[in-house]
Amino acid sequence: MRAVFNDFAVNMATPKEIRNGKLAQKLIKNLERRHFEAYFCPTAADAVARVLELIPDGSSVTWGGSATLREMGVTTALANAHRYQVWDRDLAQTDAEKQEIYRKAFVADVYLSSANAMSEDGVLVNIDGNGNRVAAITFGPKRVIFIVGLNKVCPTVESALARARSTAAPINAARFDIGTPCQVDGSCHNCNSAQSICNFVHFLRNSPAIKTIKKKLTS
């Protein structure tokens, strides 16, 4: 990983790429200190290829409601590979079938997720409305793989939480057309709305020994 990463850094052409490479080096070191396997993938295509490499043939795979995974093409690549047992809640025909896929996540070989934010010292921050995503991240699947853009990296845990609440939550409320105050004006109101998608706030400090958690960083 480091050899490939360093080769890329040498050939970077733009100031943004240089900055991202340096930040990625720092993040990888901090994530490894927290017992993650961490990789830097310069492009979305690189990240998709790395995810497929890390999932053994025949594995059962599922994920939460991440727009990042879909937009990058991760979910499509998994389905098209025809070598995994894919549980995609977007293909559910009924709410009961969708709920069953939620529960299958706890016995999946691999669970995929993005993150709402991450601090530079390697703490991942996620918020959830139903709790299914943060629950699966915490316990159940044999392996968890995060795919996180460098745009979600914040200087501190406090600023990562602020990003999750004030940036990610309003965007997701708009994406799901949820009638929360943040959807109206784009700002967090620390609301107690019945439709709140900030019911669960999750901090992942270390990768526990009982679960293999891998981290992909992509620019």
Place of tokens 């929360």: 180
pLDDT of the residue at 215: 56
> Does the pLDDT at position 67 exceed 70?
yes
Residues 213 and 110: their CA atoms lie apart, in Å, by 10
Give the per-residue pLDDT at 94.
94
199, 183 contact by CB (below 8 A): no
Residue 202: its pLDDT value, please?
A: 97
In a 13 Å sphere around the CA of 214, the CA atoms on its Cβ side amount to 18
Q: pTM for the full model?
A: 0.87
- The mean-pLDDT minimum among 150-164, 174-188, 203-217 falls in 203-217
Nearest by Cα to 218 from 86, 44, 93: 44
* Higher pLDDT, residue 74 or 17: 74
In this prediction, residue 217 carries a pLDDT of: 64
pLDDT of residue 16: 87
Which domains can be identified in the chain, with CATH numbers?
A: 2-56+116-218 (3.40.50)
Q: State the average pLDDT over residues 82-90.
A: 95
User: For 109-161, what is the HEC assignment?
Assistant: CEEEECCCEEECCCCEEEEECCCHHHHHHHCCCCEEEEEEEHHHEECCHHHHH
**C-alpha span between 10 and 99 (Å, rounded):** 47
pLDDT at position 10, please? 47
